[in-house]
Amino acid sequence: MKFAGKDIYKLIPQRHPFVMVDEFEATGDNAGQSALCVRTDNYFILPDGTMAETGLIEHVAQSCSALAGSHALSGGSSAPPVGIIGEVKHFSCNRRPRSGERIETTVSFGMSFGNVTMATGKSYVCGEQIVEITLKIFMQ
């Protein structure tokens, strides 16, 4: 099922103006795809019109949150879980997206131990990979 607009709020605990996912669709048990249109009013836009790297990290983290929210929703929960970035284990940014560009991201969950989950994400603009990241996420 694809989520967009206000339906995203069913999957993530973040709220306006700090929402960094416009669309999300689970593509498997441990994988999903998200999208974000970079707008000039985005919290992470720099004076040169590009998105700060911290915004890219937050976008991938919220994409992971949407995947966890999708799992929770399909399991009967009425609220998405809250996750906290515990560690950025690997982050490479080939370039920052500009205002007006659409970021498309794939995320997947790897090994979990207790309330800690390893997650990976890759982000693209027009087919060009701009970000690759591995996160350690603590789920509350």
Q: What pLDDT sits at residue 91?
A: 98
pLDDT of 122 > 90? The answer is: yes
Q: What is the mean pLDDT of residues 20-45?
A: 96
pLDDT of 12 > 90? The answer is: yes
Question: Mean pLDDT in the chain?
Answer: 95
Using one digit for the tens of pLDDT, what is the confidence trace for 131-140? 999 999 999 8
pLDDT of 92 > 90? The answer is: yes
| Structural contact between residues 36 and 22, judged by C-beta atoms closer than 8 angstroms | yes
pLDDT of 61 > 90? The answer is: yes
Which of 74, 91, 88 has its CA nearest to residue 30? 74
Burial string for 47-63 (b: 16+ CB within 10 Å, else e) reads eeebbeeebbbbbbbbb
* Token pair in block for residue 7: 């339906």
Q: What pLDDT sits at residue 115?
A: 93
pLDDT of 130 > 90? The answer is: yes
Domains by residue range for the chain, with CATH: 2-139 (3.10.129.10)
* Token pair in block for residue 97: 């997206």
pLDDT of 94 > 90? The answer is: yes
Residue 16 banded pLDDT, cuts 50, 70, 90: confident
pLDDT of 1 > 90? The answer is: no
Q: How does DSSP assign 42-87, residue by residue?
A: -TTB-TTSBBPHHHHHHHHHHHHHHHHHHHHHHTT-SSPPPEEEEE
